[in-house]
With several copies, the nearest count.
Chain A
């Protein structure tokens, strides 16, 4: 049986949609379902409608659901904006106070006085979401323990009283619904599965992988949707004796990371649009000085401040082409929560092996939402430092010309081994020069590295078979993958190692019809695909800040094929 359940919780910021959504997500995830969540939150702290969507499937499906089984509506907007997304005869659980609103005719509406129940019983309105959870549990066939266990973990630390109040609130909701509406029809669940899965966000996976991959220096500046990387590392890096500092801006962040990279540490910084743009000069410096540094870009809707809490994939052009001069670099983009651990590890290895800045492109959807994944098989991934060795060398030449363009590296402070690093053109020993022929040699050296790097870059992922090609990247893969079985004669190609451009692109994309699904306004990957295939690409774009629903894509593609 293919089980699938989609829930949206809407309310004003502060109503607690996030809390209850996370509890449901965790409960279902532990039950053995695959969860993906979607937070549609404003870039403002209070008083604006927000909503949280949760999808639970018996199979791995991670894209945003377009049709809902349940809608929790704590405010009027929740009904106005979202009830049209309910499935036929879907269920609405809503605050009784909400008036002057027309409910969809087919919807099963349960109006509950969450606010009053909470205030009457607990003197505070904040338990209304727990009450709602109790209500919700009455519609499910699973044991209420699945939720209550989570309460225990969550509230234990905060004291017995809070825990008990929450449990009381939960029961209150449960009983209210029974008393008022009698026995509701219950949703059948597949049998519970023992599993080792975790419910985690992309930012957190990235942070853990960084630690595993030997990152020991992180400098950053808060920015949505990348902040959690800073926050996670600030908390856990000290255990691994690494350094995490929040600095005065992103320029300081990248230059600090570069400083650590020069010194011989594995270093990283993470940001989003505005911060990434500020790092441009540093990027160019890292390329010129052949300094390994990993730059995570959790993309959000741009340009400029754009929509800080919203999704987009529009920094590809910048990652590939941004910055003055001819800069060696790599750009990779995981396309799935399950790839983030691996790709973060790859980013660090490529950065050190090729001594370049590496962009790891994430996006708001994959960065901030929660997904059920298996704990990665970490032993599969290694720290590969390339030509890095603790070897004293009186004639150390940091930029020695070599066959593949890669020179020996070590850390600064090795006896008798002197470093000279400069963003100015330099000789093999790092001293400044403007000699024409040497300049050319050094430039060739730096760019030569890309030739070899290209081979090692993650391969495109090809799924399915067929004449037609849908090419995509980043988390756009998730909805495309979901609709793929419904399309005839079509294969999906996910570009994951974006730059340097792979030689096999033309071959892999061979087709009469190339459709590119990506989520930005200019068709940034499409441009590159057109360049490499010499073919016009049919672009399927979205850029309103919300990730594609699978259905939207299929509709558009049906029109094309």
Chain B
């Protein structure tokens, strides 16, 4: 098989020209090709939103879930078949509004999946309402007088919740994105990437240029040995109106699969369903 990026693409994406999500798709395809992963060994689990459409554009396995439910589905698929590369992908509304609790619980559970949030600070598919990452004061179709809440940051929350791989990317930098995804895919555990992925149609505020002026690349996973420092740096940057991109934190912990799967060699889906009659009888005998 010839592992080229294009073998992973199913159809021409329906995103607006210039949409940040193209970069995410491009970087993913490159990483798949580079690592020569056969399409059937990949499962993209996506949410609902423009970002979530990514699952319709890939020629890998794909599961387009409900709004906000990427992580329960992705985690279950990974546990069912650990031979798969399972990649969750969704928007900022999906991840940080309706799905926020799944996100934080995944951070602490450490399932072996990659989770990419295409953060455009807006609800794209529903045409421009604010999201939890929209800046305070931002005028959107549902906040004609400006957003009234403080925004939250996925990277900070992930760090605080025990995530073992935390990164931020930018759709204006596919090269860096590819590097991050490459490492994420190899990470044993929950690898989370918040991608600043501009919506060129409904978010005319957080544009590529806007980000370019504010992005600071992190070359090393500088927080790797020191979580509090990672947290401090990210927070200070944000307070200062800057975004650190790159791999911000990485550590090793036992994963959900380690803890929950008895036999890591044969995936559950490949095992027969038969049980020994005696084993079932033993269960009944408990009640004798």
Contacts and interface: CB of A to CB of B under 8 A. Distances in A.
Do A and B come from the same complex?
A: yes
Interface of A: 14, 30, 42-48, 198-200, 204, 208, 211-214, 216-217, 219, 221-224, 227, 230-231, 234-236, 238-243, 245-249, 251-253, 255-260, 262-267, 274, 281-282, 285, 304-305, 375-376, 378-379, 383, 385, 411-424, 430-432
A252 B287 contact: no
A44 B75 contact: no
A200 B285 CA distance: 10
Contacts of B287: 198-200, 204
Contacts of B67: 274, 305
Contacts of A252: 69, 72, 102, 105
B274 to A, nearest CB: 7
Contact of B262 (A198, A231, A241): A241
Contacts of A376: 284
Given A227-B127, A259-B77, A241 B263 contact: yes
9 contacts: A30-B288, A211-B280, A231-B141, A259-B72, A262-B63, A378-B280, A412-B84, A413-B84, A422-B56
Nearest to A258: B73
A413 B40 contact: yes
A378 B76 contact: no
A325 to B, nearest CB: 13
Contact of A259 (B17, B80, B100, B132): B80
A432 B54 CA distance: 11
B81 A412 contact: yes
A434 to B, nearest CB: 12
B16 A45 contact: yes
Contacts of A420: 55-56, 61-62, 64
Interface centre among B63, B260, B262, B281 (most CB of A within 10 A): B63
A424 B48 CA distance: 10
Contacts of A413: 40-41, 43, 61, 81, 83-84, 267, 269
Given A231-B141, A431-B11, A219 B76 contact: yes
B268 interface: yes
Given A305-B48, A413-B84, A239 B279 contact: yes
Contacts of B62: 419-422, 430
A381 to B, nearest CB: 10
A213 B280 CA distance: 10
A255 B65 contact: yes
A417 B269 contact: no
Given A419-B61, A420-B62, A423-B65, A45 B40 contact: no
A422 to B, nearest CB: 4
B129 A222 contact: yes
B39 to A, nearest CB: 6
By Cβ-Cβ distance, the 6 closest A-B pairs, closest first, are A259-B76, A214-B273, A263-B80, A422-B64, A259-B73, A411-B269
B72 A255 contact: yes
B268 A418 contact: no
Contacts of B270: 411
A416 B102 contact: no
Contacts of B11: 431
Interface residues of B, number: 81
Given A46-B16, A208-B283, A266 B126 contact: no
A184 B15 CA distance: 40
B53 interface: yes
B238 interface: no
Interface centre among A245, A378, A432 (most CB of B within 10 A): A245
Contact of B55 (A230, A242, A422): A422
B216 interface: no
Given A243-B268, A248-B98, A248-B101, A421 B132 contact: no
A378 B287 CA distance: 16
Nearest to B126: A222
Nearest to A415: B40
Contact of A249 (B10, B68, B83, B285): B68
B254 interface: no
Nearest to B141: A231
A214 B40 CA distance: 25
Contacts of B201: 45-46
B218 interface: no
A213 B79 CA distance: 19
Interface string B254-271: 000000111100011111
A265 B15 contact: no
B66 A282 contact: yes
A175 B107 CA distance: 61
Given A224-B126, A412-B81, A431-B11, A251 B69 contact: yes
A418 B59 contact: yes
